[in-house]
Chain A
Amino acid sequence: MRHPIRLITCLSLALTMGLAGCASRPVMQDGILINDPYEAQNRRVHAFNKALDAKIVGPVSDLALSDDEPAPAGTDAGGIKPLDLVINIGSNLSLPGKAVNSLLQGRPGPAAKNISRFAVNSTLGIAGLLDPAGSHMGLTEVDTDFGETLAVWGVPEGAYLELPVLGPSTQRDSFGKGVDVLIDPFGLVLDWWPGRAVEYTLRIASKAGERARFGDTVDSVLQDSADSYAQTRLIYLMHRRHDVGEEGAEFDPYDDPYAEPGQEAGFIDPYAAE
């Protein structure tokens, strides 16, 4: 029985498709193109996510991290920590879906790499708890998802969205998240209960583990920024465009140190001398 996941997926697809109907003119801001017609709604979701992070996710992460402090200088930092195991097992389960996406993008190389990684870590790595593929064979993870597949197929990014709990996204990436659940190869071999419920629990735990590991960085963006919404949006869009190969801003501050971001809707050439 796989209905609950289907229902969530359909809802998320319907939501993003519905939103895709609306459109507004993107503006240049801080050197990148920002398309955020739902900013008011997004800011409300951001306030919710920020509070959730401060009250629940952050403190729980800190607890998980308390015995996972970085090793002091000069000591052997190669030891295996509980948090590594949690992160490893969940990210291992995400590999088959990533391989499917690489194939859909016409990239058999990365697909083969992720499948080899999955094979090695699921066996030698004891069901993905350890990462011998990455640490000893150079088979590091090639991160991808259906959002990137859509980008490769030429689907535009769409509007920026901040999703409850899940955080920053775009219409294309939100749609992609839903499709990723549907095309996950585990769906072919596992029933919803208990197989995929366990799979998703482990994958969510892995994400939470990563949140714990990079908690300081997340905290600094969320809690220390003057406008954490704008900062989150900017960082997400720049990072995401880099990942899917849509390059972003090139700053040449020597040519135009005073270039005013977002002055006009349209392209600001940072190289144009004043």
Chain B
Amino acid sequence: MPRSDRRSVLALIAGAAVLLPLRPALALDANASQALIRNAVTDVYAVINSGQPPAQMYRQFEAVLARYGDVNIMARSVLGPAARQIDAAQFAAYRQAFQGYMGRKYGKRFREFVGGKVEVGAARPLKSYYAVDATAYLNGRAPMEIEWHVSDKSGRVLFFNLIIEGVNMLASERAEMAAMLARRNGDVAALTADLQKAG
């Protein structure tokens, strides 16, 4: 190896060594993606098995979503072009309502996981992010395939989508938001109010 090459390699390693400790959360790889989903599933099961009243559980599912998921990009993506036409305060209010709606809607489904288990499998690179495969074993039901999509584009390693037996959450919520928005003639403030009660 020529001296200059070796020097540039050394410089790269040194540069990486300086950068890495500063931005540890940015290391998106298979292990980090898998660990994120493992932790999220563990937290979801802790809520499911806590035996609390439903309303309390939904708030905790919402907290799990906010902790492991990129709610900002999910909210933006499912709202579509309308997200461009509102100001930051309006978006923040919608985003908050969306987060609560997701906690209630998916929390209700998660409660069916009582007595079952979710095995988190391997992570694999997909496009510009990682997909983590998981299998849900529920009582008296054929095993279900769940695929989580994890990215670090928010600045942290977070999941932004999940696909249950082919049913894509972002696609499904995009259709739902479009229909809810159409019912309110495109008024995002009215949609926000509706979302606070929905789910």
| A residues neighboring B (CB under 8 Å) | 29-32, 70-74, 77-78, 84, 87, 140-141, 143, 213-214, 216-217, 220, 224-227, 230-231, 234-235, 238-243, 248-255, 257-261, 271
Contact = CB atoms under 8 A, between A and B. Distances in A.
15 contacts: A31-B168, A70-B114, A72-B114, A73-B48, A213-B141, A224-B105, A226-B179, A231-B179, A239-B165, A241-B166, A242-B165, A251-B168, A251-B171, A253-B76, A261-B174
A72 B51 contact: yes
Given A254-B153, A255-B128, A77 B81 contact: no
Contact of A251 (B77, B108, B109, B143): B77
Given A31-B174, A70-B139, A231-B172, A243 B166 contact: yes
Contact of A225 (B108, B128, B154, B176): B176
B170 interface: yes
Contacts, number: 138
Q: In the A-B complex, list the 10 residue pairs whose CB atoms are closest, starting with the nearest.
A: A242-B166, A77-B115, A253-B77, A227-B179, A226-B179, A254-B153, A73-B49, A226-B180, A30-B175, A31-B171
B126 to A, nearest CB: 7
Given A250-B126, A255-B128, A234 B76 contact: no
B51 A73 contact: yes
A220 B110 CA distance: 13
B102 interface: no
A78 B117 CA distance: 13
A235 B182 CA distance: 20
Contacts of B165: 239, 242-243
Contacts of A72: 51, 114
A226 B195 CA distance: 11
A239 B83 CA distance: 28
Interface of B: 48-51, 73-74, 76-77, 80-81, 83-84, 105, 108-109, 111-112, 114-115, 126-129, 139-143, 149, 151, 153-154, 160-161, 165-168, 170-172, 174-176, 178-180, 182-183, 198-199
Given A70-B115, A251-B149, A255-B128, 15 more contacts: A70-B112, A73-B114, A77-B139, A140-B143, A213-B141, A225-B179, A230-B179, A235-B172, A238-B166, A248-B166, A249-B171, A252-B127, A253-B76, A258-B84, A259-B80
Contacts of A235: 167, 172
Contacts of A226: 176, 179-180, 182-183
Nearest to A260: B81
Given A140-B143, A231-B176, A74 B49 contact: yes
A77 B114 contact: yes
Contacts of B142: 140-141, 143
Contacts of B141: 213
Contact of B166 (A71, A225, A239, A255): A239
Contact of B112 (A31, A216, A258): A216
Contacts of A77: 114-115, 139
Contacts of B178: 30, 261
A133 to B, nearest CB: 12
B83 A238 contact: no
Contacts of A32: 171
A254 B166 contact: no
